[in-house]
Amino acid sequence: ASMREERIEKTKTVCTYCGVGCTFDVWTKDRKILKVEPQQDSPANGISSCIKGKFGWDFVNSEERLTRPLIRKDDHFVEVEWEEALSYVSKRFNEIKKEKGADSLGFIASSKATNEESYLMQKFARQVIGTNNVDNCSRYCQSPATKGLFRTVGYGGDSGSIDDIAEAEMVITIGSNTAESHPVLASRIKRSHKLFGQKLYVFDLRKHEMAQRADRFFQPKSGTDLVWLSAVTKYIIDQGWENKDFIGKWVNGFEEYKESLSKFTLEYAEKMTNIPREDLIDIAKQIVNVDKLAICWAMGVTQHQLGSDTSTAISNLLLITGNYMRNGTGAFPLRGHNNVQGCSDFGSMPNFFPGYEKVSDDNARTRYEKAWNTEIPNEPGMDNHEMMVAIHEGKLNALYIKGEDTGIVDANINYVTEALEKLDFFVVQDLFLTHTAQYADVVLPAAPSLEKDGTFTNTERRIQRLYKALDPMGESKPDWVILKDLANKMGFDWNYRHPSEIMSEAASLAPLFAGVDYKLLENYNSLQWPVQEDGTDTPLLFTNGFPFEDNKAKLYPLSFELKHDTDEEFDLHVNNGRVLEHFHEGNMTFKSSGIVKELPSSFIEISPELAKEREIKEGAKVKLVSKAGETTGKVHITDRVSGNELYLPLNASGKSAVNYLTDNSVDKDSNTPAYKEIAVRMEVLEKK
C-alpha cells in the first residue's frame, strides 16, 4: 500500500445520536473523517445507517469546540490551565458543602457520555460529595416508560431486541415518529410490513411517514392514549378474549384490575379520544387475532402529565393478552439518545444505584458504602426538575452539568435560565460553549465519543464498545478523565487507567452487570443486560417470569382525568418532536455541514384549514404565545397536521426553541416535563 493509504485508520465506533445503537467502522486520516462504514456484523443495524450516523460527524472538528478550560472573570470567560480550573472547582465544591451541606450540590449526567462516565458521575456525587442529587436526561424523555414497566413487569428496559419488533405479527406504535427518530429501526418495521405482512397500527397526532404507511392510523386527542388503551383492554376482557393461561400462570391482581376498568367503556373512550367505537372494537379484535404483538412508544406517550400511567396501560394490555416472555412480543419504549438507557442503567439517578438497586435498599447501600468507604444518604436525591425548583427556593446552590444543554432542553426556558443565574457556583462540561454554558462559572472542555474508549447501551439493553479514533482536540479530555482528576484533586484516590477498569468495578458492585467484561465486548461483540457472572446475557428480558418475589407480573389499576386542553385564549395545541436530519437541541448536527445542507432552518407546521382560516401563506412569520413564554418562526403549511394542531421540531434553537412555550407541568409520577401539553395563541407578524 502507498504511504497515503497507510495513514488511513479504521476504528469501530457506536453512533453518537439515537438509541438504535448503530455501530460502524469510521475511516480517519489524521483528524479527517473520511467515511463511516456499517458492517455486516453490526448487531443493531447490519449494513444500514441513517443520515445522522453517516454524515453527522463534522462537529468533532468544529472550530467552535472548546479546547481549554474557562473561568468566568466578571462578565467574560478567560482561558486557564487545567490545574487552575480543577483547583477552583474543588475549592468551591468543598466550601459550599461545608457551609450548606452535601445536598446543596446537584449533578446532571449526560446521555451522550459513556456508561463508565455515568458510573463515575454518580460515584462522584455519592462518594466525593455525599449526595444522591444526581440525574440525567431520561428525566426529560423515558422515565415515565421506566416507571410504567417497573410497576408491572419489574424492569424498565425493552422486553426484547430490534429483531423481536421485526418478528412480531403486529406492531403498534404510539406517540413515536419512528421513521425520523429511529430511522434504522423503522426500516426494519417497514420491511416486515411490506414483505412479510406484519400488521402496523399507528397512533399519533401527526400524519408522519409511518402513519402514511400503516394499515390503520388513528389520531386520538392529545393526552388520551391511556383511555383507548384501557377501553380496548376492557373490551377484550368483557368478551372473554384475555389470555387466561398466561394470566393464571404469570400475572397477579387480575380481579382488582378488571374492576378498575369499569369507567373505560367504549362510549367513554369514543368521547374522550375521538376514536370511533367500531375502530376500538377493530383494534381489540386485531390484537387478539395475532399471536405476537409488540408495542413501541416514545415521547408522544411519556411527555404528558399521565406519561407513567399511560406507559403502565400499555404494559397492562400486553399482560392481559399474554404478549410477554416470547420472541416477537413485548414492550419497546424507544430510547432517544444513544446512551440514555446506559446513563440510567449505570446509576446517574437520584433513587437508584447502578443496575436499578434502590438507594433505600440497605443491602445495596451497605455494599457501595463499604466499597467506597463512605456514607450515602438512604433517601432519594433530587431529580432534574426538583433541582430547578430547589435552586429557585435557595435550597440548591451549586450545580455540575456534564454534556447536557439544560438551559434549552429542559421545559420552561425562562424559569430554568433564571435558576441557572441564581446559582452560587455552576460548572458545565461540554464540547461547545452551549446556551447553558453561558451561565457557568467554570467550563470544562470535554471530548466526544470518537475521541475516547468506553461503552454505550442502546434501546435493546445492548452494551457495545466504542474505540478511540482520534486524540482529544486541543486540551479537551474525556469526561471520565476529568471526573477522575477532579475526584483526586478533592482528596480521593481514583486510579483508573482505562474505562475497562471502571466497568469492572461497576460489574463487581451491580448484580445486573455481574458478568460484563471488556473481553466479551471486543469489536462488534455485545451483551444485553442482565449479564450473569459467567457472561451469559439476556436478549429476551423475561424468560422465566418476572423479577418479583413470586415471579409474577402485576396488573396496575389506573384512573384518568384530562390534564390539559385548549381554551378561548390559548386556542391551539402545539405538538413537538424530532426531524430526521437534526438531533435534539442541535448542538452537534447544526455544526455538521453535511446535515445543515439538508435542513438549514426550523419551521412551524400548520394545517391547511388553519392557514385558510387565518389567511396566511407558506413562509409567513408568526409568534406563538403560551402562558410561559413566546417564540417566533416561519410557517410551513402541511396536511401532516390537522385542525388546530401545530408541530414544532424540538431541534429549533435560539429564539425559536419550543421550550420558551413549555411550562412547569410534569408527569405526576416521574417529574418528566409535560412537553407535549402546550396551549398557545398565534399572532401573525408577516402574512407573506
Considering the complex, what minimum distance in angstroms separates the CB of residue 77 from ligand SF4? 32
Our CB check for ligand SF4 shows the closer of 242 and 581 to be 581
Q: Which residue, 12 or 92, is less far from ligand SF4 as judged by CB?
A: 12
β pairing state of 216-218 and 199-203: parallel
- Count residues binding ligand SF4 (CB under 6 A): 14
Q: What are phi and psi of 650, to 5 degrees?
A: -75, -5
Instruction: Indicate the residue among 22 and 411 with the shorter CB distance to ligand SF4.
Output: 22
Instruction: Write the interaction track for ligand SF4 spanning residues 41-80; mark x where CB under 6 A is met and - where it is not.
Output: ----x---xx-xx---------------------------
At residue 381, φ and ψ (nearest 5 deg) are: -85, -165
Nearer to ligand SF4, 53 or 148 (CB): 53
In the block, residue with C-alpha cell 433564571: 418
Candidates 12, 20, 117, 224; binder of ligand SF4 (CB under 6 A) is 20
15 lies in the site for ligand SF4, by CB under 6 A: yes
Q: From the CB of 235, what's the least distance to ligand SF4, in Å?
A: 36
Cβ atoms of residues 346 and 122 within 8 Å: yes
**Shortest distance, position 173 Cβ to ligand SF4, whole Å:** 16
Stretch that binds ligand SF4, among 13-21, 134-142, 273-281, 374-382 (CB under 6 A): 13-21
DSSP structural state of residue 334 = P
> How many Cβ atoms are within 10 Å of 676's Cβ, its own excluded?
24
Q: Which of 451/460 has CB closer to ligand SF4?
A: 460
Could you give the C-alpha distances from 309 to 120, 146, 316, 549, in angstroms and in order?
32, 11, 10, 23
Q: Is 17 in the site for ligand SF4 (CB under 6 A)?
A: yes
Note whether 442 and 70 are within 8 A (CB): yes
Q: How far is the CB of 277 from ligand SF4 (least distance, A)?
A: 38
Residue closer to ligand SF4, measured from CB, 21 or 445: 21
Q: Residue 86 has which C-alpha cell?
A: 480543577
Contact in structure between 242 and 236 (CB atoms under 8 Å): yes
Question: Is the Cβ of residue 404 or residue 460 nearer to ligand SF4 in the bound state?
Answer: 460
Specify the residue, 182 or 190, whose C-beta has the smaller distance to ligand SF4. 182
Site string for ligand SF4, 155-194 (x = CB under 6 A): ---------------------------xxx----------
Burial of 621 per CB tally in 10 Å (0-12, 13-18, 19+): middle
Identify the helix (H) or strand (E) that includes residue 333: strand 330-333
Alpha-carbon distance of 528 to 321, in angstroms, equals: 26
Q: Which residues contact 653 (CB under 8 A, 6 or more apart)?
A: 408, 435, 585, 586, 590, 602
Rule CB under 6 A: say whether 579 interacts with ligand SF4: no
Closer CB to ligand SF4, 34 or 78, in the complex = 34
182 vs 234 by CB, closer to ligand SF4: 182
Q: How far is the CB of 458 from ligand SF4 (least distance, A)?
A: 8
The 3-state secondary structure of 621-632, one letter per residue: EEEEECCCCEEE
Nearer to ligand SF4, 89 or 185 (CB): 185
For the chain, the 3-state helix, strand and coil shares in percent, each to the nearest 5, are 40, 20, 45
In the complex, minimum distance from the CB of residue 182 to ligand SF4, in angstroms, rounded to a whole number: 6
Q: How far apart are CA 489 and CA 484, in angstroms?
A: 9
Which has the closest alpha carbon to 345: 540, 536, 503, 553?
503
CB 121 within 8 A of CB 114: no
- Per the DSSP assignment, residues forming a β-bridge with 209 are none
Q: Which of residues 13, 22, 412, 454 is near ligand SF4 by CB under 6 A?
A: 22
Min CB(43)–ligand SF4 separation in Å? 12
Q: How far is the CB of 299 from ligand SF4 (least distance, A)?
A: 15
Cell of 101: 451541606
Task: Considering the complex, state which of residue 334 and residue 408 has its C-beta at the smaller distance from ligand SF4.
Answer: 334
Select the span of 16-24, 79-87, 282-290, 436-444 touching ligand SF4 (CB under 6 A).
Answer: 16-24
The least CB distance from residue 190 to ligand SF4, in Å, is 13
Cβ closest to ligand SF4, residue 420 vs residue 595: 595
Q: How far is the CB of 16 from ligand SF4 (least distance, A)?
A: 7
Residue tagged 419504549 (cell numbers): 333
Strands 23-29 and 32-38: antiparallel
Beta strands 105-108 and 134-135: pairing type? parallel
The phi and psi torsions of 263 (rounded to 5 degrees) equal -70, -25
Which residue intervals of 244-330 are DSSP H helices?
244-250, 254-260, 266-273, 277-289, 299-302, 307-320
- Give min distance, CB of 134 to ligand SF4, in A: 26
Tell me how far, at minimum, the Cβ of 300 lies from ligand SF4, in Å: 18
**Burial grade of 363 (CB within 10 A; 0-12, 13-18, 19 or more):** exposed
Nearer to ligand SF4, 20 or 470 (CB): 20
Which stretch, 20-28, 358-366, 420-428, 518-526, contacts ligand SF4 (CB under 6 A)?
20-28
- Neighbour count for residue 659 (Cβ, 10 Å): 27
- Give 36 or 226: the residue with its C-beta nearer to ligand SF4: 36
Q: Which stretch binds ligand SF4 (CB under 6 A): 10-18, 375-383, 539-547, 604-612?
A: 10-18
Closest distance of CB 685 from ligand SF4, Å: 34
CB of 20 to ligand SF4, least distance (A): 4
CB-based contact 192:198 (threshold 8 Å): yes
99: Cβ–Cβ under 8 A, 6 or more apart, which residues?
Answer: none
Euclidean distance between CA atoms 397 and 151, whole angstroms: 34
* DSSP sequence for 158-212: -SS-HHHHHH-SEEEEES--HHHHSHHHHHHHHHHHHHH--EEEEE-SS--HHHH
Distance in angstroms between the alpha carbons of the first and the last residue of the chain: 59
- Point out the residue whose Cβ comes nearest to ligand SF4: 53
Please report, as ranges, the residues that interact with ligand SF4 according to CB under 6 A.
15, 17-18, 20-22, 45, 49-50, 52-53, 182-184
